[in-house]
Amino acid sequence: MDRRQFLALSLTASAATALGNPFTVGRRAPAKRILVLGGTDFLGPALVDAAVVAGHDVTLFNRGITNPGLFPYLEKVRGLRSANAAEENFSGLMGRSWDAIVDVWPSDPKLAESAVHRLGQSTNHYLYVSSIAAYDALGFAQPGLTEDAPLTRWDSGTSAYNRGKAESERRLQQAIGGRLTIVRPGPIKGSRDTTPDLLTWLRRAQRGGRHIGPGDGNDHVQFVDVKDVARFLVLAMERSLLGVFNVTGVPMTFREFVRECNDITRSSAEYVWIPRAFLHAQGLDPAPFDSPTIPFYLGKFPSWHPQPEFRGLRQVSSDKAFRAGWKQRSFQETALDYLSWIDSLGPTYKWSDELSADVESAVINRYLS
């Protein structure tokens, strides 16, 4: 890039920042008064940043325990959410109103329901961050799952998180349906994320050498940047987008994914693609997605879900969000933000590869012999 191109790009970026719109350079949307429930852990800070940059007036409601030093320039109302109604304290919010209220985190339907009953009449637009985990797992058998797919039942045998997100949605729909936006992200990555799935593949790439590529490389992965989820929420508030939206990003094949990991880390690591049947014979099965006890992001091949019944798990459609004007950052930006955050934690962040280098090398050699 020459100096003239650099200056042109810099001026464009400066204009976008000055205008405060994270989506396009142009006229800024009218400022809204936004209440964020939570707002200080992972998605919350990204949402607050996106809303403030877009010129909106943000108030935070939380306990003041998680990252209390964040956003010293914003109004903070202290209170307590609890499954026990007698313990809850929403008193600091009573008698006030906002243009939009965003609930970013609970998977306990009692918490989601309590908040909307107390605050639902204080706004014309209520937003809830759910998850694709809320879908009935039967829907993941085919690619392209859309927002009208059935949700998992409250009495199903899936994890409390999956059941809780689905039930929270149902209770919110019943309480405030016509003024509700539900956002269902896929696996969220980027700054402040500490789950080790993406980290495993980036560290293997950094290590170089030869690694197992699980399967034939045609299974899919699908990540969404935390900043992109935040920006969709701001977009939904600015444009009064109601209803349900998957926010999962564009899927990649596993072969494309590890190539990206190599590019990000400037690595020349090589991948030997080994069929699932051979890996099974070596005791190297993928981690289950729908286990009520084992997190799906763990295992020797994180993010690899080749089971036929989960063929569409990482190919969920975000077409509705894209048609509404949502945009997605490049995966390289997401991964670099993620690595930077993990590295900033230093020795306080504990991680070890579940697939040892010795075992991996031995399996590759057996497969190639």
DSSP 254-275: HHHHHHHHHHHHT---EEEEE-
Q: What is the pLDDT of residues 77-103, one digit of tens each?
A: 999 999 898 999 999 999 999 999 999
Residue 3 belongs to some domain of the structure: no
Q: pLDDT band for 305, please (50, 70, 90 cuts).
A: very high
Looking at residue 17, its pLDDT comes to: 38
Residue 338 near residue 199, CB atoms below 8 Å: yes
Q: Is residue 291 part of a domain?
A: yes
Please indicate whether residue 105 or residue 113 has the higher confidence score (pLDDT). 113
CB-side neighbour CA atoms (13 Å) of 243:
11
The answer to the question of residue 35 being in a domain is yes
- 126-129/180-185 β-pairing: parallel
Is residue 2 assigned to a domain?
Answer: no
Rounded Cα distance between 81 and 62, Å, is 8
Q: Is residue 269 part of a domain?
A: yes
User: Is the model's pLDDT at 5 over the cut of 80?
Assistant: no
**139 vs 121: CA distance, rounded Å:** 34
Residue 90 neighbours by CB under 8 Å, 6+ apart: 61, 79, 115, 118, 119
Least confident of 16-30, 297-311, 337-351: 16-30
Give the mean model confidence (pLDDT) for residues 141-160: 95
Under 8 Å between Cβ of 142 and 86 = no
Over residues 299-306, mean pLDDT: 94
Is residue 9 scored above 70 in pLDDT? no
Please indicate, yes or no, if residue 211 is contained in any of the structural domains.
Answer: yes
pLDDT average, residue stretch 292-320 = 91
- Full-prediction pTM beyond 0.75? yes
In-domain check, residue 67? yes
- Would you state the pLDDT for residue 298? 85
The answer, yes or no, to whether residue 294 has pLDDT greater than 80, is no
pLDDT bin (cut points 50, 70, 90) of residue 27 is low
Mean pLDDT, rounded, for 129-147? 97
Residue 107 belongs to some domain of the structure: yes
The domain of 194 spans 18-368
Place of tokens 């034939």: 216
Q: What is the mean pLDDT of residues 49-63?
A: 97
Provide the percentage of residues in the chain whose pLDDT is more than 90.
Answer: 86
How many domains does the chain contain in total? 1
pLDDT (average), residues 228-256? 98
What does residue 143 show for φ and ψ, rounded to 5 degrees? Answer: -65, 160
pLDDT higher at 25 or 268 = 268
CATH of the domain at 102: 3.40.50.720
Predicted confidence (pLDDT) at residue 8 exceeds the cutoff of 90: no
Residue 283: band (very low, low, confident or very high) from pLDDT cuts 50, 70, 90: very high
Percentages helix, strand, coil for the chain, rounded to the nearest 5? 40, 15, 45
Percent of the chain with pLDDT over 70: 92
pLDDT grade for 157, boundaries at 50, 70 and 90: confident
- pLDDT of 13 reads 42
* 3: pLDDT strictly greater than 70: no
